[in-house]
Amino acid sequence: MAVKKEHFGRMADGREISLYTIDNGTVSASFTDLGAVWVSMMVPDRNGELADVLLGYDDAEGYLVNGPHFGSIVGRIANRTGGASFTLNGTSYVLGKNKGENNLHSGPDYYDRRLWAAREVGEDSVVFLLDSPDGDQGFPGELKISVKYTLTKENAVDILYAVTSDRDTPVNMTNHAYFNLGGHDSGSVSDTRVQILADSFTPTDADSIPTGEILAVEGTPMDFRTPKTIGTDIGSDYIQIVQGKGFDHNWCLNHAPGICGLAASAYHEASGRAMDVYTDLPGVQFYTGNWLGGEKGKGGVSYEDRDAFCFETQMYPDSVNHPQFPSPVVKAGTAHVTRTSYRFYMGK
C-alpha cells in the first residue's frame, strides 16, 4: 500500500486543498484535508466490479459548501444541541442557532469547511490536525484535534479521534459518511438490510431534540436487533419516524462502555457488498438521508431522499444538556481517544 497525494482544489484565499488516496489492492479510500472529509470508498461487488459506495462531490468546490456534510468530520459537538446552549461548571455557553432555536453540528462555522493540516503515516494512514481555539464556535478551551484514517489489509477504514483541551469542554465528534452499498449512484437504499445492536434508543421531540428518555426498541419500528431492510418500517406511522421523515435517531449500543464492539451492520443483496461498524462510543445515529432533496453529487448524479444511510458513531445527542446520558465532557489536560472502524466485505 501507499498514500497517493494529488491536487483537489483551492480555498478562497488560494491555499491548496489535497486529496489522499490509499489502495490495498482490493479496496481504496480517499480523504481530503478540507474538513478531514472521507471522500470515496471503492469496493468490489461479488463479481469484482468496483463502485464508490460514498455519496459526495467530484472536487473541493462541492465540499466547500457541502450542505449534507458528506463524509465530514463533525465537531466539537455532532448532532443537535437543544436551545443552542449549555451550562458547564456553572458557566453558560451560547452556540449559533442554525437549526431553528437549536444548534446542529456546532455550525455555522463547521469544522468541515476548514483546511486541516495533513501528514502521512507509513503506507496505510493519513492524519489530519486542527487547532480549535478557546471560544471557537462558542465552546470553552483550546482543543487540539487529531483524526487518523487507516486503510487495513482486511478492507477496513479505522478512524482514531484524539483530542486534548486546556479547559473542561464537551466533545462529541463523528464522521458523517453517507453510504450506499449498491454504489453512490444506485438510488434508494430501501432494500439494504440493516442490523443495529441496541435494545434502546433516545426519542426526540418535533425538532429532533432528545427528550431525555431512553426507550426500549422492542415492539416498535426502531427494533433492528434482527436484520431487516430499511424499507420495512420506514413508512410507519410511528411518531418518531413521522417527525424525522424516516430514521434519524440515536441508538444506545449494547456493548460495554469503552469496549470497541460491533455496533451495526448493513448488507446489499444485489451487489453482495456488506459492512460492519465497530466503535467504543456508546451510541450510533442511524440516518436514512431523509433530506437530500436532489443534491447534485459525483458525476452530476442527483441524490434524492433516502438514497443513502449513515452510521454516525457518537455520544448521545444533546448529552451536554442531559446529565442522565453518558457525559461528553473532556477534562482539562486529559487526552481523550475514541475509535470507530468501518469494515467492508464483498461476495456475500
Catalytic residue among 176, 184, 249, 268: 176
User: How many of the other CB atoms lie within 10 Å of CB of 96?
Assistant: 15
Residue 123 among the catalytic residues: no
- Taking CA atoms, 218 is separated from 61, 215, 225, 243, 255, in Å, by 44, 9, 9, 20, 18
With contact defined as beta carbons under 8 Å apart, do 72 and 110 qualify?
Answer: yes
pLDDT of residue 2: 85
pLDDT of residue 217: 98
Q: Is the pLDDT of residue 120 over 90?
A: no
Catalytic residue among 69, 105, 184, 312: 312
Q: What are phi and psi of 106, to 5 degrees?
A: 65, 20
- Chain-centre distance for alpha carbon 230: 18
Give every CB contact of residue 90 below 8 A, 6+ residues apart in sequence: none
Burial (0-12, 13-18, 19+ Cβ within 10 Å), 78? buried
Q: Is the pLDDT of residue 325 over 70?
A: yes
- Angle, vertex CA 37, rays to CA 188 and CA 78, nearest 5: 80
Residue 176 among the catalytic residues: yes
Q: What is residue 200's three-state secondary structure?
A: strand
Q: What is the mean pLDDT of residues 157-162?
A: 98
This prediction's pTM: 0.98
Task: Report DSSP state, residue 71.
Answer: T
Q: What is the mean pLDDT of residues 218-225?
A: 98
